[in-house]
Structure 1
Amino acid sequence: MSQHSLGDDVSIANVAAVAGVSTATVSRVLSGRRRKDDDLSRRVRAAAKQLNYSVNYAASALRSAKTNSIGLIVPELNNSLYSSLTQAIEPAVNHAGKQLILGIGSTAAEQEQRIRLVLSHRVDALIIIPVETEFIVPFLETVAKQIPVVQLLSQTYSNKLDWVGISETTVMQIIADHLSTAGARSVAYIGSSTDDLDGMTLFTAFHMQMTVSGLSTYTEWIHFTQESVDSGYRIMQKILSDHSFYPESVICSDGLTAVGVYRACAAAGLSVPEEIKIAVLHDSALCENGTFESVSFTSVQLPWDRIAAEAVTLVAAEQERKSWLPSRRELEPELIIRKSTVVSS
């Protein structure tokens, strides 16, 4: 395997000598072919760091069928859900001794273009959050015949693609059950767009779980928007002004929207959580800390690090042995209960 130093002219033999291992072991650890995270691997990585030594992936690719690179395609980075995932994937890929090549596409056409671009770099595998699945899935199935493809978060209707993520039904269920237990009898929903599978799946799950949990809702209380404080404020202001009664709880897609909802409630003289409870579908630092004028928000924490690790492990395993039966790895989310839904005793 070809290597290079970012500092002095250091060879793989130097790293092996400092770590007290063979050059073959150094090669396996730094290329990601040795997956055990034990003392030996840590010694090799520490020695490489000490000597300012790194893998030259491009030169290695000339000598191998593998490029030690993984493509990641996401719809956007402005969305807190997708940015959180990207932040978790990058270190997981690096830990595996590989490079991450990122592509951003908000439509099926854009995603196909980005996929073709990362394929031109001869990536070993592809991880993707697909959009407009009815259009992009056939293309992904074709790509999957050549390299491993793992879909994240939403599950497609394809029986040929691996998947790692969480059940949106479970996310909605734990929020609805909590709001009901906390005393709410009605709920409004301010979600993300239903143009993508994530938004549509969440909205479908919302309808199902409201019936099961005994929470009532109205068409006028259901809205879709891009995440922002202004959007949350305007929508909640409209909900509160259109009726002689208001929902006892609100489910928001994200923390920014929740802050806007909180401000609208405060402007209307309604206290949170005593009169209106607010819950958020996806946790963030904003939910945890709130702002100087809002409380912290009850939200669902997704296991980002585990999702990332499972995806990287899966593509590595699939490179060595592709099974005819795709893998489906569903991970459990956790509800973090905070001040926006709990009345102080």
Structure 2
Amino acid sequence: MTAPSITIKDVAALAGVSPATASRVLSGNPATSADSRQKVAAAVTELDFHPNAQARALRSTRTNVIGLLVSDVRNPFFADLAHAAEQAALAEGLVTLLGNANESIPQQDRYLDTFISQRVDGIIAAPQGEGSSSLRALLEREIPTVFVDRTVDGIDVPSVTTDSDAGIRQAVEHLARQGHERVGYIAGPQTTSTGRDRLKSFARAAGEFGLSTDPALTYFGDFQSASGSAGAHHLLGLAQPPTALLAADSPMAVGALATLNRKGLRIGRDMALVAFDDIEWFSLLDPPLTVISHDVEAMGRTAVRLLLEVIDGQKPASVVLPSELIVRASSGTPDASLGQP
């Protein structure tokens, strides 16, 4: 008989694979290599391992479906994130149900409730707000959950986020060296972790590199393009307007760019512009846009890996990915006449 101390972790160790891979092999998941199946089968035989009936029954209830909730499907960053996660999940034999929160807590909760009712195996979510009842229901029901891009204070689940501080600091230092003193910042909503963290990073870097800390230079947007347009319009209307703008995400940068174009300002000459997030066509603009870049593909893949580990009963550590400044022609030296009363 199998010794009570023999577990799937012992099988995985002997086979030289991860517990998640061993679990998928034993549950008959087709998303496993022939080599892994052979190694696991040999380890099972050597250890005389027999999964107990309860564990087998639990595995049989799996749907091989996960829920993926993004903040705004129109945002190219989240579109790329969804694609990366969906492809990574598909490679593991999982189908993805996609939900679009549209930066709205009620819409988020409607999708989360649907994911729960559909009995998905787990959920990857870019959460809205500071912790709705539906988000907390995931914990109460012990549904495997991973947060991506954003986190919520008081909800302890594995997450994949970006170290925004490094890229923002590089951007502020670059603008300061270009001679900019008044930099307008179009911030994201302060109800999100990314909105708060990026604003703190900008304020800290502005003080460090001698930029103006005038609070009028910060406009609070909502991570959508219309607020970027409104933010640029507001900041350009100040008695002492900025000579550069930094937008906290790509849709707000697009909105700001539209306003600058409508006003006939030359990007990189009359007004510098930097965007957080790099999207494919930013490098194709004339002039190409300076950006704070981070690896959205790695974020999607890592979120799926962490979720599979949670589903298999593990407690993976959260992952923080780097960000970096990519300098292009949009962040030039300010015109000497700009910003004068």
Q: In structure 2, what residue type is equivalent to 1:289?
A: L
Q: Secondary structure at the match of 1:141?
A: helix
Q: Distance in 2 between matches of 1:267 and 1:110?
A: 33
2:48 corresponds in structure 1 to none
TM-score, length-scaled by structure 2:
0.72
8 Å Cα contact 2:189/2:223 also seen in 1: no
Q: Secondary structure at the match of 1:335?
A: strand
2:216 corresponds in structure 1 to 220
Matching residue within 159, 173, 178 for 1:177: 173
Q: Distance in 1 between matches of 2:301 and 2:192?
A: 25
Matching residue within 325, 329, 334 for 1:339: 329
How much does 1:92 deviate? 1.4
Is 1:198 the counterpart of 2:194? The answer is: yes
Q: Distance in 2 between matches of 1:304 and 1:314?
A: 15
Q: Distance in 1 between matches of 2:109 and 2:259?
A: 41
Matching residue within 4, 28, 31 for 2:29: 31
Deviation string, structure 1 residues 3-40 (Cα, Å, up to 9, x no partner): xxxxxxxxxxxxxxxxxxxxxxxx88993552x6x999
TM-score, length-scaled by structure 1:
0.71
8 Å Cα contact 1:31/1:98 also seen in 2: no
8 Å Cα contact 2:68/2:123 also seen in 1: yes
The 5-angstrom pairing of residues 110-149 of structure 1 reads 110-136=107-133, 137-143=135-141, 146-149=142-145
Matching residue within 135, 151, 157 for 2:153: 157
Q: Distance in 2 between matches of 1:158 and 1:191?
A: 23
Gaps of 5+ in 1: 1-26, 42-60
8 Å Cα contact 1:74/1:129 also seen in 2: yes
Matching residue within 291, 295, 316 for 1:299: 291
Q: Distance in 2 between matches of 1:68 and 1:108?
A: 27
Q: Higher mean Cα deviation, 180-189 or 130-139?
A: 130-139
How much does 1:116 deviate? 2.5
Q: Secondary structure at the match of 2:97?
A: strand
Q: In structure 2, what residue type is equivalent to 1:251?
A: L
Q: Distance in 1 between matches of 2:63 and 2:129?
A: 29
Q: Higher mean Cα deviation, 211-220 or 84-93?
A: 211-220
Relative to 1, partners in 2 of residues 1:229 and 1:149: Cα closer, same or farther, differing over 3 Å? closer
Q: Secondary structure at the match of 2:123?
A: strand
Q: Distance in 1 between matches of 2:122 and 2:277?
A: 27
1:253 corresponds in structure 2 to 248
8 Å Cα contact 1:112/1:139 also seen in 2: no
8 Å Cα contact 2:150/2:192 also seen in 1: no
Choose between structure 1 and 2 for higher RCO, CA contacts under 8 A separated by at least 6 residues. 2
How much does 1:210 deviate? 1.6
Q: Distance in 1 between matches of 2:152 and 2:314?
A: 19
2:275 corresponds in structure 1 to 280
Gaps of 5+ in 2: 1-24, 38-56, 334-341
Relative to 1, partners in 2 of residues 1:29 and 1:277: Cα closer, same or farther, differing over 3 Å? farther
How much does 1:340 deviate? 0.4
Q: Distance in 2 between matches of 1:269 and 1:237?
A: 12
Deviation string, structure 1 residues 166-202 (Cα, Å, up to 9, x no partner): 1233342232222223332221012333343332332
Relative to 1, partners in 2 of residues 1:311 and 1:261: Cα closer, same or farther, differing over 3 Å? closer
Aligned residues: 289
Relative to 1, partners in 2 of residues 1:177 and 1:66: Cα closer, same or farther, differing over 3 Å? same
2:237 corresponds in structure 1 to 241
Is 1:322 the counterpart of 2:314? The answer is: yes
Identical aligned residues as a percent: 23
Q: Secondary structure at the match of 2:131?
A: helix
Is 1:74 the counterpart of 2:70? The answer is: yes
Q: In structure 2, what residue type is equivalent to 1:121?
A: Q
Q: Distance in 2 between matches of 1:120 and 1:229?
A: 33
